[in-house]
């Protein structure tokens, strides 16, 4: 969950700074933000 929180924090910084990230930055960050909530519950509820 730490990675998910860090990814959300990066997105919040971009938003507050009214900054548009490069595509590579965005894709590397969004990967952590999306995969955490999708994959982690599956490990807990086996």
**pTM, entire model:** 0.68
What are the C-alpha distances in Å from 18 to residues 5, 13, 31?
Answer: 20, 8, 21
Per-residue confidence in pLDDT tens, the chain, 46 aa: 788 888 889 999 999 999 999 999 999 888 877 876 777 676 777 6
Is-contact 6 33, C-beta < 8 A?
no
Token couple for 18: 């009214």
Domain ranges in the chain are: 2-44
For the chain, the 3-state helix, strand and coil shares in percent, each to the nearest 5, are 80, 0, 20
């Amino acid at each position: 969950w730490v990675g998910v929180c860090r990814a959300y924090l990066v997105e919040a910084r971009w938003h507050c700074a009214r900054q548009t990230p490069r595509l590579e930055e965005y894709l590397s960050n969004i990967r952590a933000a999306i995969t955490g909530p999708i994959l982690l519950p599956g490990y807990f509820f086996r």
